[in-house]
Structure 1
Amino acid sequence: MENNKIQIFDTTLRDGEQVPGCKLNTKEKIKIAKRLEDLGVDIIEAGFPTSSPGDYKSVQEISKSVSKTIVCALARAVEKDIELAGNALKYAKKPRIHTGIGTSNCHILYKFNSTQEKIIERAKLSVKYAKKFVEDVEFYAEDAGRTDNNFLAKICENVIKSGATVINIPDTTGYCLPEEYGKKIRFLKENVTGIHKIVLSTHCHNDLGLATANSLFGIINGAQQVECTVNGIGERAGNTSLEEIVMIIKQNPHLNFFTNINTKLISSISYLVSDCTGMKVQPNKAIVGINAFSHSSGIHQDGIIKRRETYESINPEDVGINESSIILTARSGRAALAYRYKKLGYSLNKRSLDLIYSIFLHYADKKKEITDKELKIILEKANLNNKNNKILHSSNKKKRIINVV
Structure 2
Amino acid sequence: SQQEVLEQTDEMVRYAKSFVDDVEFSAQDCMRADPEFVYKLVRMAISAGATTVNIPDTTGYGTPLEYGALIKSIFDNVPEAHDITISTHCHDDLGLAVANSLAAVENGARQIECTMNGIGERAGNTSLEESVMALYTRKDYYGLDLGINTRELYFCSQLVARHTGVNVPPNKAIVGDNAFSHEAGIHQDGVLKNKDTYEIMNAEIVGREAGVLVMGKHSGRNAFRTRLTELGYTAFDDNSLNAFFRKFKDLADLKQRVTNDDIIALVDTETTEIDELYRLEHLQFQSGTGGMTPSALIRLKTPEGVVETTALGDGPVDASYSALKKLSPMPIILESYDLRAIGSGTDALGEVSIRVKSGDQIVHGQAVSSDVVHSSVLAFVDVLNRLAAGIGKNRKAV
Give, in angstroms, the shift of residue 274 of structure 1: 0.8
| Post-superposition CA distance 1:70-120 (Å, at most 9, x none) | xxxxxxxxxxxxxxxxxxxxxxxxxxxxxxxxxxxxxxxxxxxxx100111
For residue 293 of structure 2, what is the aligned residue in structure 1?
none
For residue 128 of structure 1, what is the aligned residue in structure 2?
14
For residue 277 of structure 1, what is the aligned residue in structure 2?
164
Greater helix fraction, Structure 1 or Structure 2: 1
1:263 is aligned, of 150, 156, 169, to 150
Q: Which amino acid aligns with 1:136?
A: D
For residue 230 of structure 1, what is the aligned residue in structure 2?
116
Q: Which amino acid aligns with 2:182?
A: H
For residue 246 of structure 1, what is the aligned residue in structure 2?
132
Give, in angstroms, the shift of residue 394 of structure 1: 9.6
The answer to whether 1:329 aligns with 2:216 is yes
Give, in angstroms, the shift of residue 359 of structure 1: 1.4
For residue 101 of structure 2, what is the aligned residue in structure 1?
215
Structure 2 CA distance for aligned equivalents of residues 374 and 186 of structure 1: 56
Aligned counterparts, 1:40-55, within 5 A: none
Relative to the length of structure 2, the TM-score reads: 0.67
Structure 2 CA distance for aligned equivalents of residues 272 and 188 of structure 1: 37
Q: Which amino acid aligns with 2:129?
A: E
Structure 2 CA distance for aligned equivalents of residues 367 and 213 of structure 1: 36
Gap runs ≥5 in structure 2:
275-393
The answer to whether 1:137 aligns with 2:18 is no
Q: Is the 8 A contact 2:268 2:395 kept in 1?
A: no
Secondary structure in 2 aligned to 1:266?
helix
For residue 70 of structure 2, what is the aligned residue in structure 1?
184
For residue 350 of structure 1, what is the aligned residue in structure 2?
238
Structure 1 CA distance for aligned equivalents of residues 123 and 4 of structure 2: 32
1:377 is aligned, of 229, 249, 265, to 265
Give, in angstroms, the shift of residue 351 of structure 1: 2.0
Relative to the length of structure 1, the TM-score reads: 0.66
For residue 247 of structure 2, what is the aligned residue in structure 1?
359
Secondary structure in 2 aligned to 1:287?
coil
Structure 2 CA distance for aligned equivalents of residues 287 and 187 of structure 1: 32
The answer to whether 1:291 aligns with 2:204 is no
Give, in angstroms, the shift of residue 150 of structure 1: 0.8
Structure 2 CA distance for aligned equivalents of residues 258 and 147 of structure 1: 32
Structure 2 CA distance for aligned equivalents of residues 199 and 349 of structure 1: 65
Give, in angstroms, the shift of residue 319 of structure 1: 0.8
Give, in angstroms, the shift of residue 349 of structure 1: 2.9
Secondary structure in 2 aligned to 1:258?
coil
Structure 2 CA distance for aligned equivalents of residues 305 and 241 of structure 1: 30
Q: Which amino acid aligns with 2:78?
A: V
Which structure would you say has the larger Rg? 2
For residue 7 of structure 1, what is the aligned residue in structure 2?
none
For residue 166 of structure 1, what is the aligned residue in structure 2?
52
Q: Is the 8 A contact 2:264 2:395 kept in 1?
A: no
RMSD of Structure 2 on Structure 1 (CA): 1.6
Secondary structure in 2 aligned to 1:384?
coil
Structure 1 CA distance for aligned equivalents of residues 270 and 20 of structure 2: 73
Aligned counterparts, 1:386-397, within 5 A: none
Give, in angstroms, the shift of residue 385 of structure 1: 5.4
Structure 1 CA distance for aligned equivalents of residues 132 and 33 of structure 2: 28
Equivalent residues, number = 275
Structure 2 CA distance for aligned equivalents of residues 324 and 268 of structure 1: 16
Q: Which amino acid aligns with 1:170?
A: P
| Post-superposition CA distance 1:330-380 (Å, at most 9, x none) | 221111111111121111432221111111122111111111221112112
Tell me: higher relative CO, structure 1 or 2? Use CA pairs within 8 A at least 6 residues apart.
1
